[in-house]
């Protein structure tokens, strides 16, 4: 599939989602980019701003299998991955696969699940496989975890392990709609009429072909070195003239470099180019890096966020080596 056809197909997907979702263009763009790059997404936002609806519409638009799991403190690993069921007639165990065996897995309020469930999901996210008993089963391809968490309510929640947070390609902050968008939402949704269904306009095979086009998107070594400098700045900010080390506990892992490279190429492809520019890296930097910077208690006390630190880093790190 040629790049121009990829762009047309992606626009069709966006138009189909827009039949039910008002606004949230940045969120839709990033979800499509994550699908192109085969990366998991963590969505953070208050309830009621169409996070779940957007993901559901995306699954329908690309004709993908979709499962939704509401994470709760009493959830068990088997509720997610499945379990072995004993057959007394044959004295054997047969696998009963859980909802994780899907293309798009919506993990709603992921920070409400305890550590055992998180560890089971971690294997699925990283290895794209699930172990039931002594057997290992591959997950369908593609497999993406799209997880949501509420940033306000912390009672009865479990902080996600750093190792798991690092496996999310993007962390997206989903904000309230504008007043004009909210007026349209109210006019469209405050009714008892059945809403228009989202139609499939892209197949999974088509998505795989688009990923092939992504691989051929050119990334110059100068931009690769810019990515490395940007990630290095999160670990050693003083090298780049920034006095912010007291606000950081640790910086981004090598996964950040990998995901920045992938996301920059995907961003270029979605804009109709077969080559990347430094602005592509800057466009995706916050979403790739914000959850990989561990800020200190001092930063929290002074109301400094990882996005604030990233703004300074993007301003100070040169795009071209001097």
Domains of the chain: 3-207 (3.40.50.300), 217-316 (1.10.8.80)
Estimate to the nearest angstrom the gap between the alpha carbon of 103 and the chain centroid.
14
Nearest of 138, 154, 140, 143 to residue 44 by alpha carbon: 154
The continuous run of DSSP H or E covering 269 comes out as helix 254-270
pLDDT of residue 5: 67
Rounded to 10°, the helix 3-17/51-61 angle is: 130
With contact defined as beta carbons under 8 Å apart, do 256 and 292 qualify? yes
pLDDT of residue 150: 75
277-282: list long-range contacts, CB under 8 Å, 24+ apart: 277/223, 278/223, 278/226, 278/319, 280/223, 281/223, 281/226, 281/227, 281/230, 282/314
Residues 243, 249, 255, 260, CA torsion sign: negative
C-alpha 230/C-alpha 44 separation (Å) is 24
Estimate to the nearest angstrom the gap between the alpha carbon of 84 and the chain centroid.
30
Residues 192, 64, 34, 5, CA torsion sign: negative
Nearest of 319, 320, 313 to residue 239 by alpha carbon: 313
Low-confidence ranges of the chain (pLDDT < 70): 1-5, 152-157, 192-196, 322
The continuous run of DSSP H or E covering 94 comes out as strand 92-97
pLDDT of residue 13: 86
Entry field: residues in the chain: 322
pLDDT of residue 4: 42
C-alpha 266/C-alpha 172 separation (Å) is 16
Task: For 146-182, write each residue's pLDDT tens digit.
Answer: 988 877 666 556 777 787 888 899 999 888 888 888 8
Between CA 129 and CA 136, with CA 134 as vertex, the angle to 5 degrees is 15
pLDDT of residue 101: 92
């Amino acid at each position: 599939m040629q790049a121009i056809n990829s762009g047309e197909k992606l626009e069709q997907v966006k138009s189909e989602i827009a039949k039910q979702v008002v606004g949230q263009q940045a969120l839709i763009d990033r979800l499509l980019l994550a699908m192109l790059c085969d990366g998991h997404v963590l969505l953070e936002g208050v309830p009621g701003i169409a996070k779940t609806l957007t993901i559901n519409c995306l699954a329908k638009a690309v004709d993908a299998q979709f499962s939704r799991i509401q994470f709760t403190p009493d959830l068990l690993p088997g509720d997610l991955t499945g379990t072995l069921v004993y057959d007394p007639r044959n004295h054997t165990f047969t696998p009963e696969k859980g909802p994780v065996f899907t293309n798009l897995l919506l993990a709603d309020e992921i920070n409400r699940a305890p550590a055992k469930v998180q560890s089971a999901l971690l294997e699925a996210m990283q290895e794209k496989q699930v172990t039931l008993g002594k057997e290992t089963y591959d997950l369908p391809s593609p497999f993406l975890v799209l997880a949501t968490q509420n940033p306000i309510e912390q009672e009865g929640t479990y902080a996600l392990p750093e190792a798991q947070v690092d496996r999310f390609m993007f962390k997206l902050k989903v904000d309230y709609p504008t007043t004009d968008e909210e007026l349209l939402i109210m006019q469209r949704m405050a009714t008892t009429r059945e809403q228009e269904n989202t139609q499939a306009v892209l197949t999974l095979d088509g998505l795989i072909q688009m990923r092939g086009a992504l691989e051929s998107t050119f990334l110059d070594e100068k931009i690769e070195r810019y990515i490395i400098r940007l990630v290095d700045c999160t670990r050693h900010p003083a090298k780049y003239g920034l006095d912010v080390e007291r606000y950081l506990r640790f910086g981004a892992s090598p996964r950040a470099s990998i995901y920045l490279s992938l996301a920059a190429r995907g961003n270029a492809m979605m804009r109709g180019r077969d080559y990347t520019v430094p602005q592509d890296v800057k466009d995706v930097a916050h979403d790739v890096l914000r959850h990989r910077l561990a800020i200190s208690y001092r930063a929290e006390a002074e109301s400094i966020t990882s996005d604030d630190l990233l703004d300074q880093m993007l301003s100070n790190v040169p795009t071209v080596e001097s």
